[in-house]
Amino acid sequence: MIQSPVGTPTVTEARDRFGRIISYLRISLTDKCNLRCVYCMPEDMVFQPAQELMQDEELLTLVRVFASLGFWKFRLTGGEPTIRRNIVDIVRNIAQTEGVRSLSMTTNGILLEELANPLAQAGLQRVNVSIDTLDPVRFKRITRWGTLDQVWNGLLASERAGLTPIKLNAVVVRGFNDQDVTELAKLTVDHPWQVRFIEMMPFGDVASFAKEQIVTDAEIQARIAAEFQPLQPVDGAKLDGEARLYTFPDAPGQVGFISSVTIPFCASCNRARLTADGVLRLCLLRDKEINLLQPLRAGASEDELRQMILEAIWWKPWGHGLAEDVIPLSRVMSQIGG
Ligand code: SAM
Ligand code: SF4
């Protein structure tokens, strides 16, 4: 049992001062990537030296500590998580950690054709694959590197490997892929997939681009209705995680909207993020961070780390400040772990 940071009764869960129980950790396994998406990082992105990033043992120690605080849901992200050395072993070790009940990954899918099977066998349960367009030329323009075929083959391999239900993430950028939203949404007519549109968020170097080129979810819905047919809300379009879900009549799949900018879901946020350099971030869109890797390397015990995490979570910000033009400037998305 662990003492809460404010002397309130003992707890086995991490709770913030607003009463939210924080039990979902998104871990960035690397800040590096094999693509250079225009909304995520500049093409000449400079990455952190390897020795500044969590080594495998350090990562597993922190996972164990978080799991002992009631964190049960873990998502591996990045940068691109599949390019991390030993990714299959890392997944296996996290999956076997006591308390880990849900383990998924957000990936650009480029390497999934070869990795989907080994990852599933190691204990990965699901994947979210980022795919912003079904047009090969526009795919190249958005991601700068990589090909659509690789992602598509990776998606199919993931489905065969049982990494289901498959979710697809699309960030919509005006002038890049706004004309593709209907074709993406129509994938749900033929596949039992969840296609999710994510409103582009402003970060660091790409902040002004994101603010200028954002396409809101309301606009995407209107476009789909005009070009194909209106979507129907699932369960009153209640939040399912971070997405509001819709469907076409009789379709096996669903269309989700993650409207972080125009309709924030902060009130129900249950997540924290661990960056590849071992820093705990309590809000994707606020720069306040707590370094866990430094104390771990300096010899802090697991109990001491637990206290640091509880204290930090207690002060988790209520929500982001995009409406007041408070923009995270210290890191771009790939460094935080989207
Ligand atoms: N490389 C993996 C991928 O692309 O799926 C995982 C990391 S990526 C940072 C995680 C998610 O963040 C992706 O779905 C990506 O499209 C999304 N993303 C990146 N930059 C974004 C931004 N500025 N606004 C909204 N979503 C963004
Ligand atoms: Fe890489 Fe993912 Fe960022 Fe694209 S969104 S550059 S795939 S980390």
Confidence (pLDDT) at 313: 94
Q: Is residue 203 part of a domain?
A: yes
* pLDDT tens-digit readout, 262-277: 877 777 889 999 999 9
In the prediction, which pLDDT does 279 show?
A: 95
Angstrom distance (rounded) from CA 241 to CA 119: 23
> Could you tell me if residue 4 is inside a domain?
no
Number of domains in the chain: 1
How confident is the model at residue 325, as a pLDDT? 67
5 domain residue, yes or no: no
Distance 33 CA to ligand 2 centre (A): 6
Boundaries of domain holding 260: 24-335
What pLDDT score was predicted for residue 288?
Answer: 78
| Ligand 2 atom nearest residue 333's Cα | 3
What is the CB < 6 Å shell around ligand 2?
33, 35-37, 40-41, 78-80, 108, 130, 334
Residue 140, Ramachandran bin (φ over 0: left; ψ between -120 and 50: alpha; else beta): alpha
Give the Å distance between the CA of 43 and the centre of ligand 2: 11
Whether 166 maps to a domain, the answer reads yes
| Residue 14 located in a structural domain | no
The reply to whether ligand 1 has any atom less than 6 angstroms from the CB of 201 is yes
Q: Is residue 8 part of a domain?
A: no
Residue type, 322: L
The pLDDT value recorded for residue 324 is: 65
- The reply to whether 306 falls in a domain is yes
- 47 belongs to a structural domain: yes
- Residue 197 per-residue DSSP state: E
| 210 Cα: distance to centroid of ligand 1 (angstroms) | 12
Only one residue has tokens 């249950």, namely 270
What local confidence, expressed as pLDDT, does residue 215 receive?
93
142, two tokens: 């958005």
What CATH number corresponds to the domain at position 219?
A: 3.20.20.70
Q: Which residues of the chain have pLDDT under 50?
A: 1-11
Cα-to-centroid distance, 5 and ligand 1 (Å): 33
Helix 112-122 to helix 87-95 angle (10° resolution) is: 30
Q: Is 334 in the pocket of ligand 1 (CB under 6 A)?
A: yes
Quick one: pLDDT at residue 328? 63
Q: Is the CB of 336 under 6 A from ligand 1?
A: no
